[in-house]
Structure 1
Amino acid sequence: MSFNLLALNPIAFNLGGLQVHWYGIIIALGALVGVIMAMREAKRRHLDPDNILDLVLYGVPIALVGARLYYVIFELPFYLANPSEIIKIWHGGIAIYGGLIAAFIVLLVLCKKRNISPWLMLDIAAPSVLLGQIVGRWGNFMNQEAFGAKTTLDFLQSLHLPHFIIEQMYINGAYRQPTFLYESVGNLIGLVLILVLRNRKHLFKRGEVFLAYLIWYPAVRFFVEGMRTDSLYILPGVRVSQVLSLVLFIVAIGLFIYRRKQQKQPWYNEL
């Protein structure tokens, strides 16, 4: 990966001999804000906020391992040839879906042990996860990764983007589609809609805030993934994230319809 002279420095500062990357700072910031938001919502739903802290305590390390493992599996030939690169997450290679799967398993185990409704916990956590994804894409921006195909300066200027974004999108001798931005903005729209609608009485039943997330995010990711140049492939021409996005989208809609028709669920805002 090469950087042009006007690109932002991915290194925030040096702490002794340790380089602290903007990528890690931005991810940590997104996680912190998300945790605070989830704890406030847990308290409003009469759930002990300490459950959120415990979920983070156990879930974040396991989610990081899951996110890295997911990426490594689909790039296995490279990592078998370069095993020392497996732990170097600061070089990129964190797959969101891998982290989500791992965190979901931790959440189910925690809810089982503490007799908490998994649907309630998922409803509380989903907007915070989406917020983390919105912020986290700016870590990709600082690393000049998760970008799209070559484009022109005129096109980027036609989007009325700030100059620093346009210059950061000059990668390997060409301007690139800012797919990180498309996904971040698409998810921001979804987050605003979910936060506004979840507080309307008799709109969402328990579990449907999470299902709304599981419909919105995969839809955004499916289309943005098709524009990226760094996708993981399950088969030639078949992108892993697009397949998984489509599966999650269909499953979420199916669950939404099934639960509405077959099961009596409390409304989200019922205590």
Structure 2
Amino acid sequence: MELNLGALDPVAIQLGGISIRWYGVIIATAVVVALLIAMQEAKKRNVDRELLVDLLIWAIPIAIISARIYYVLFEWSYYKDHLNEIIKIWHGGIAIHGALLGSVLTAIIFARIKKVSFWQLADIVAPSLIIAQAIGRWGNFMNQEAHGGPTTRAFLESLHLPDFIVNQMYIDGVYYQPTFLYESLWNVLGFIVLLVLRRTRILRGELFLSYVIWYSIGRYFIEGMRTDSLMLTDTLRMAQMISIVLIVIAGGLIAYFRVKGNRPYYLEDKYGISRKK
């Protein structure tokens, strides 16, 4: 007999007819944590922290819009007959790769306007991005989405997961793989790796590119376990293809920067804080 104590309520606060969902609370928390970490990184690198606030003002709404556009484009077979659903983002349907694309393009334009180095900004926010993604996946947990294929309670318990996670993975009478958790833990580990890497002698831009590679490797394998993937073809998952492309591009740029050899290094000072040469 399966034991299930019930799913967690996705609504955090109910104010009359207004529902504040845990998904929104968790995403907002991820943004705040990311900003605080990025501002600390900027201070260590002698970069004006107000730049990050200005960038965030533009990047967040553009990231949300681009994440939604990305999702809608790959689900156009549905949305072309339900145009009124396109703006209903609260019904679900955003893609992290779309958000990243929008954010990067925004940062490139922002850096040109402000006459600052895009790569330096990207290095500053790289640890923030991956920890924000780690936190944000718990929003998927509360919504019981972004999970993997069917499994058993015995398997989930064998992972020594707390009951609240096991119970939340019980959806419509079936237990599912907690792929949200796998990705969240992978991103937390990536955050630690980036913090260690920033203390080494690396070229400007390599921290951000290392983030891209780390995240893409994890996303490729975890995506293969999910049941809600955007499909490029009947057998090819879009996120896996994007992950491969990003790994190749990021790895290629690192190799190019190293061969070209005219980019500044970040060096450790006596406090272990990376400064540009």
Same fold (TM over 0.5): yes
Residue 232 of structure 2: SS of its match in structure 1? strand
1:76-113 Cα offsets, whole Å, 9 max, x none, are 12112222222222222110000000011110011001
Kept in 1, the 8 Å contact 2:212–2:250? The answer is yes
Partner of 2:124: 124
Q: Distance in 2 between matches of 1:148 and 1:168?
A: 13
Partner of 2:247: 249
Kept in 2, the 8 Å contact 1:123–1:208? The answer is yes
Partner of 2:49: 49
Q: Distance in 2 between matches of 1:270 and 1:17?
A: 51
1:11, distance to aligned residue in structure 2 (A):
0.6
1:5–1:92: structure 2 CA closer, same or farther, 3 Å change rule?
A: farther
1:140-180 Cα offsets, whole Å, 9 max, x none, are 00000000000011100000000000000001211000000
Tell whether 2:34 aligns with 1:29: no
Q: Distance in 2 between matches of 1:106 and 1:211?
A: 17
Q: Distance in 2 between matches of 1:156 and 1:91?
A: 28
Tell whether 2:24 aligns with 1:19: no
1:5, distance to aligned residue in structure 2 (A):
6.3
Q: Distance in 2 between matches of 1:17 and 1:83?
A: 25
Name the amino acid aligned to 2:117: S
Name the amino acid aligned to 2:258: R
Q: Distance in 1 between matches of 2:16 and 2:65?
A: 26
Kept in 2, the 8 Å contact 1:21–1:90? The answer is no
1:164-213 Cα offsets, whole Å, 9 max, x none, are 0000000121100000000000111111011122123x2x1111100110
Kept in 1, the 8 Å contact 2:5–2:167? The answer is no
Residue 238 of structure 1: SS of its match in structure 2? coil
Q: Within 5 Å, which residues of 2 pair with 1:1-271?
A: 6-200=6-200, 202=201, 204-268=202-266, 269-271=274-276
Q: Distance in 1 between matches of 2:112 and 2:81?
A: 40
Residue 39 of structure 1: SS of its match in structure 2? helix
Residue 234 of structure 1: SS of its match in structure 2? coil
1:26-79 Cα offsets, whole Å, 9 max, x none, are 000001100111011112111110110011001100100000110011011211
Name the amino acid aligned to 1:177: Q
Residue 12 of structure 1: SS of its match in structure 2? strand
Unmatched tracts of structure 1, length 5 or more: none
Normalising to structure 2: TM-score of the pair? Answer: 0.94
Name the amino acid aligned to 2:41: E
Partner of 2:269: none
1:263, distance to aligned residue in structure 2 (A):
2.7
1:198-232 Cα offsets, whole Å, 9 max, x none, are 123x2x11111001101100000000000000000
Residue 20 of structure 1: SS of its match in structure 2? strand
Identity of paired residues, percent? 50
Kept in 2, the 8 Å contact 1:211–1:256? The answer is yes
Unmatched tracts of structure 2, length 5 or more: 267-273
Partner of 2:271: none
RMSD, matched Cα: 1.1
Name the amino acid aligned to 1:64: I
Residue 47 of structure 2: SS of its match in structure 1? coil
Q: Distance in 2 between matches of 1:263 and 1:118?
A: 18
1:258, distance to aligned residue in structure 2 (A):
1.2
Q: Distance in 2 between matches of 1:219 and 1:106?
A: 24
Residue 265 of structure 2: SS of its match in structure 1? coil
Tell me the matched-pair count: 266
Q: Distance in 2 between matches of 1:85 and 1:141?
A: 23
Q: Distance in 1 between matches of 2:178 and 2:89?
A: 22
Kept in 2, the 8 Å contact 1:127–1:194? The answer is yes
Dislocated runs of 4+, deviation >3 Å: none
